[in-house]
Structure 1
């Protein structure tokens, strides 16, 4: 009789051999892609066709060359055989893969395009059963197998160390130890993909349709960021032409966060996706100025959209001239003043972008001239029409009634001229709000010498959107969306006017003065008021003790979100009171204790305390990096930039100082909530003052 251990070793040997076979096939795919590039460049087709073909082949070859090293599959599905592949009552026919065994990995691997694949891409429709099949609804799966790989494996077959079989066809259901170990694996370096551990509720969000805007309210540790990135990879796989034609944009809260998530999409075989922050997307000028809190709050308010629209269209003056006379050889064509006023008024009513409206006025004036000319002496040529469009009187009239303008000119006049601001803000802003807006320093001589603030750039983007539509994307993933102001939401909405959004965030983690308190309000500003909101409340990474502490703080936050729960019973929470003046020593002791374990260690403190703590650690011989080094063993991180990051062991220093750093009336408790939920294994709370929870 074969022992279980020998059977396991025999199964592992077969799977390792299959992995070697897959590795050989992948190498052949890479070589074949290079060969196709050389062949494709010599095809005898039109220049345009050859260019398109060459670009596609080169892109494919580049993608295969840049695939990161790692295991080629993480699971397998054995489907029920043909003898049991008939219809299931109420569930339709079994999948076409009946009787097959399919390995599931991060990309499709095959020896020949016409042959059955050696590995199926996790995004393929047939792979969905790997994430969704249960004993109650096996979806035709007889056995689901998961593979356990050594941590940090670069894809050596010897790193395949274990496997688990779940016999769904027999009604067997089990908790996967492999999935649990992968979720709990120490966090060192950039964020990893979760293709092997996606949960059913996450899979539903990942595979939502292209045209659907998805909003995810995710408690800490529920994987909302990973869901957004895997949704991006899924859409690129499922709708490659539509997405690549429109473009896909990942928007993160800051560059540190983007560096943390930068490796996820390449690990899933998707390169060339733009990952950026909203300030980078809208930056028309460097930020050289600053606003006080009151001015910034008013500038980010949704009412500023109407103030800016009024300021722009105040430049349109339908009655700025009498009748228009345009010379045509020895003859003059005339447009009466009332007709000109009607043209301008009609175009205004159409609410086209400002620049488009100007050209519509020109076109309708020329059409009026053409009608006169054709009634008098017959049809006019295209050259005649273009000459009328360029006629000096027509251009002069346009400049007087619908002048060309730059966004900077509009905003500079609004912030520099109290009368212009008063007219534009009448009935929208009160006196105190209007007084907060103008430049407090010396008014610049012109917009070219203005010192623009971060909020000014948001306003400039709004005006630019009124002038003409910005470049749009096919899909935008917006992370930490709860921190966006209404005006920032509008900037994103303009770039997704003909696309869709994946909106990710947690209202409890909103830390800006204008942070959203309701997803419905935020989605309205994003142009998607009817989008569905899905809550993820089950945490897979933050331990239960840490979630319990955060939930105590959640009760004091002014947001309506359900408390989180955690599936992890492990982890540690340690409260470390310190004597006055001894907080630094207590932090050093906590870090030394943390270094006895595995994984990354982060000391998180109020921004003003970071230099002192880094100095204390350095004096103790502990080298600490900043947050911009994702692979550091020890990092000292300001509380203001820790959002979205994860560390195995967190030392949270002086919670009261973190809460107070946001200033009176700020959202300090929300900032503290973020800090406490960055730990995925252990949390030490070092404090010399009373705790604010």
Structure 2
């Protein structure tokens, strides 16, 4: 609606007052001292907390301090404020802490997202604000106290915010969260949430905002146990890195699966990786590790001074059998040493001595006990066990008996075994196996909450590794089965949750806010071939004129022309090409004077025109997307049609598809 001058001036005055109050809050935080701490360690911890507080109170001039307002109904609950401004963080003023802006995560702020004419929740009016470069320029009112919506069509301010150009990293959606998204964001900490989201439905944003909500609601608990965000690659993490700091959360770890498990140093056929990623490998690894525990052939003799104390071989066997397989391998070895030592102390007491716990520890560390342990329960590393498993046919046969057939065992064996575990070139699939062995040896530490994006692309063994890291916590699992592009991509979310060791409800988001309708409908032609069980996605935006399919005589020349046209319009431009052709396209664009940036797995994706290898496009978005060579992208890998579906759904404003020969048959239908 047109902004009334007097009302707009009053809202601008409230914005100025709120910014001044936030500045005073930050100055107060900067003036606090950690010198009150009792010791050096406490001082360092307090200083860290103060630094985080100061960073969280930073005012970003281009970011609206508040984006909405709620006015209470006269008959509403008296404990509600008369007027409530909703923003990215809490702002108060004066010694009594008069609230000027309420944090969007506060319980009372839920009404801004959930209230409607059918359930006003005690409020009569919702007001949305429009901003340009941090300046409040407009407002739009939505009455909540009558049966209609006080106007026709969707909110214009909301639509403009959704369609705002995407130049730069991903931004938060706190001003545009929809009711169905808000329910997921505010799910309580013990609950694991799984979101199947079609392209542009905001599933990644839901996961990040849930992390921010949980950190606000369970601050003390999660400050101890931690929150971890896992994404598919470094480029994706760089793209989303600004979202949580913009919401005042500056202490959240982000990682890829390679960061957690170790970067691969070798490669192997996709079929072998898929086999290693199979959940059955967990049984094989367990048998392989515990095969190192051997039956004792002799007893134990410990000499202390002039006395000798003996355990018979059958007693050692009984102690070993009682522990074998009932504990982790490393702790079992330590426990066996203590139990052997305890039996020696019993012998000492039977002779009238009075040994204490210190004597037991000494016996447990004695040479005879260590020698026996090395024979019966040897110390091994995950690398040693896996190297033996993949290079020793007999050992693999014994460990895989009843689990893998002969052809599968033959596929796992190295054709040219590494000389030792130190010289082995471990693949990405091997890294997950090593992590499983490490957990079988010593327990993996758990965090409070895990946000896992693009979860459909992880193997069962990788999911088990991540599940261990939230074994005593919960998770937000995000992805799209239609975008599964790995050899081991999941076929169902029930399967993913099982491997994670989590129980949760699966919510499907099908209404898109980012991808124009014409673009989404075009890409959805591939759905029956990549994920026939999923509901066809819909878009909030019709997107008339957003899609153009061109047949060109030369893809490189056509890409230059399409990129130049896209650069004449506002927003970011992404040229997505087969991986093998990225360098050639980048060189041609450079020669044409268009100054492209080539996206790599480790880059931050900065620049207005980017050349994007198709395998790195997942999770990213650009205002204008040019796809050169869809047939080559589809033919480049076994699940190439799923990769093409990903590539075709990265556009926010326009998509231009360039092809020289025929389009893939599935896309032409």
> Is structure 2 residue 441 aligned with structure 1 residue 467?
yes
In the alignment, what sits opposite 1:320? 296
Q: Distance in 2 between matches of 1:311 and 1:110?
A: 61
TM-score by length of 1: 0.92
Q: Distance in 1 between matches of 2:255 and 2:50?
A: 27
Q: Structure 2 vs 1, CA of residues 377 and 69 (structure 1 numbering), >3 Å: closer, same or farther? A: farther
* Aligned-pair CA distance for 1:326: 1.6
Q: Tell me which moved more, 386-395 or 238-247.
A: 386-395
> Is structure 2 residue 307 aligned with structure 1 residue 331?
yes
Q: Structure 2 vs 1, CA of residues 67 and 411 (structure 1 numbering), >3 Å: closer, same or farther? A: farther
Give the secondary-structure state (helix, strand or coil) at the position aligned to 1:447: coil
Q: Distance in 2 between matches of 1:349 and 1:188?
A: 55
Q: Distance in 2 between matches of 1:313 and 1:171?
A: 68
Q: How does 1:507-546 map to 2 (within 5 A)?
A: 507-528=481-502, 530-546=503-519
In the alignment, what sits opposite 1:297? 274
Q: Distance in 2 between matches of 1:543 and 1:571?
A: 8
Q: Structure 2 vs 1, CA of residues 46 and 635 (structure 1 numbering), >3 Å: closer, same or farther? A: closer
1:76 to 56, 69, 73: 69
8 A Cα contact 1:67 1:269, kept in partner: no
* Aligned-pair CA distance for 1:594: 1.7
Q: What is the aligned-residue RMSD (CA, Å)?
A: 1.9
In the alignment, what sits opposite 2:10? 14
In the alignment, what sits opposite 2:36? 42
Q: Distance in 1 between matches of 2:399 and 2:61?
A: 55
Q: Tell me which moved more, 217-226 or 560-569.
A: 560-569
Q: Structure 2 vs 1, CA of residues 112 and 407 (structure 1 numbering), >3 Å: closer, same or farther? A: farther
Q: Structure 2 vs 1, CA of residues 329 and 571 (structure 1 numbering), >3 Å: closer, same or farther? A: farther
Q: Structure 2 vs 1, CA of residues 162 and 446 (structure 1 numbering), >3 Å: closer, same or farther? A: same
8 A Cα contact 2:518 2:544, kept in partner: yes
Q: Distance in 2 between matches of 1:360 and 1:546?
A: 62
In the alignment, what sits opposite 1:497? 471
Q: Tell me which moved more, 510-519 or 411-420.
A: 411-420
* Aligned-pair CA distance for 1:495: 0.7
In the alignment, what sits opposite 1:582? 554
- Structure 1 residue runs of 4 or more that deviate by more than 6 Å after TM superposition: none
* Aligned-pair CA distance for 1:367: 2.3
> Is structure 2 residue 288 aligned with structure 1 residue 311?
yes
Q: Structure 2 vs 1, CA of residues 635 and 613 (structure 1 numbering), >3 Å: closer, same or farther? A: same
In the alignment, what sits opposite 2:100? 118
* Aligned-pair CA distance for 1:470: 1.9
Q: Distance in 2 between matches of 1:50 and 1:675?
A: 50
8 A Cα contact 1:473 1:495, kept in partner: yes
> Is structure 2 residue 534 aligned with structure 1 residue 561?
yes
Q: How does 1:386-425 map to 2 (within 5 A)?
A: 386-425=361-400
Q: Distance in 2 between matches of 1:474 and 1:302?
A: 25
Give the secondary-structure state (helix, strand or coil) at the position aligned to 1:411: helix
In the alignment, what sits opposite 1:90? none
Q: Tell me which moved more, 582-591 or 174-183.
A: 582-591
8 A Cα contact 1:507 1:559, kept in partner: no
Q: Distance in 2 between matches of 1:619 and 1:237?
A: 50
* Aligned-pair CA distance for 1:363: 1.9
Q: How does 1:267-306 map to 2 (within 5 A)?
A: 267-283=246-262, 287-306=264-283
8 A Cα contact 1:108 1:120, kept in partner: yes
1:209 to 179, 188, 203: 188
Q: Structure 2 vs 1, CA of residues 402 and 112 (structure 1 numbering), >3 Å: closer, same or farther? A: farther
Q: Distance in 1 between matches of 2:633 and 2:477?
A: 27
In the alignment, what sits opposite 1:228? 207
* Aligned-pair CA distance for 1:67: 6.2
Q: Distance in 1 between matches of 2:593 and 2:372?
A: 74
8 A Cα contact 2:518 2:547, kept in partner: no
Give the secondary-structure state (helix, strand or coil) at the position aligned to 1:160: strand
* Aligned-pair CA distance for 1:631: 3.9
1:595 to 545, 564, 567: 567
Number of residue pairs aligned between Structure 1 and Structure 2: 659
8 A Cα contact 1:221 1:540, kept in partner: yes
Q: Structure 2 vs 1, CA of residues 232 and 147 (structure 1 numbering), >3 Å: closer, same or farther? A: same
Query: Residue deviations 1:370-407, cap 9 Å, x none?
Result: 33333432642222122221122111111111111111
In the alignment, what sits opposite 1:451? 425
Q: Distance in 2 between matches of 1:328 and 1:112?
A: 74
* Aligned-pair CA distance for 1:545: 0.6
Give the secondary-structure state (helix, strand or coil) at the position aligned to 2:195: strand
8 A Cα contact 1:217 1:533, kept in partner: yes
Q: Structure 2 vs 1, CA of residues 616 and 677 (structure 1 numbering), >3 Å: closer, same or farther? A: same
Q: Distance in 1 between matches of 2:27 and 2:469?
A: 39
Q: Structure 2 vs 1, CA of residues 296 and 372 (structure 1 numbering), >3 Å: closer, same or farther? A: same
Q: Distance in 2 between matches of 1:298 and 1:197?
A: 43
Q: Distance in 2 between matches of 1:67 and 1:379?
A: 70
In the alignment, what sits opposite 1:105? 87
Q: Distance in 2 between matches of 1:363 and 1:629?
A: 52
* Aligned-pair CA distance for 1:95: 6.6
Q: Distance in 1 between matches of 2:208 and 2:604?
A: 21
Query: Residue deviations 1:316-367, cap 9 Å, x none?
Result: 01x23322122232222222222221211111242x2111111121222222
2:407 to 425, 432, 448: 432
8 A Cα contact 2:280 2:403, kept in partner: yes
Q: How does 1:52-201 map to 2 (within 5 A)?
A: 52-65=45-58, 70-81=63-74, 84-85=75-76, 94=77, 96-98=79-81, 100-112=82-94, 114-150=96-132, 153=133, 155=134, 159-173=135-149, 174=151, 175-201=154-180
In the alignment, what sits opposite 1:91? none
Q: Distance in 2 between matches of 1:458 and 1:239?
A: 31
Query: Residue deviations 1:577-611, cap 9 Å, x none?
Result: 435x4222222222222223221111111112222
Q: How does 1:470-485 map to 2 (within 5 A)?
A: 470-485=444-459
Give the secondary-structure state (helix, strand or coil) at the position aligned to 1:503: strand
* Aligned-pair CA distance for 1:681: 1.2
* Aligned-pair CA distance for 1:234: 0.6
Q: Distance in 1 between matches of 2:60 and 2:50?
A: 16
Q: Structure 2 vs 1, CA of residues 573 and 105 (structure 1 numbering), >3 Å: closer, same or farther? A: closer
* Aligned-pair CA distance for 1:124: 0.5
Query: Residue deviations 1:622-648, cap 9 Å, x none?
Result: 222123353422111111100000011
8 A Cα contact 2:519 2:546, kept in partner: yes
* Aligned-pair CA distance for 1:688: 1.5
* Aligned-pair CA distance for 1:66: 8.0
* Aligned-pair CA distance for 1:620: 2.9
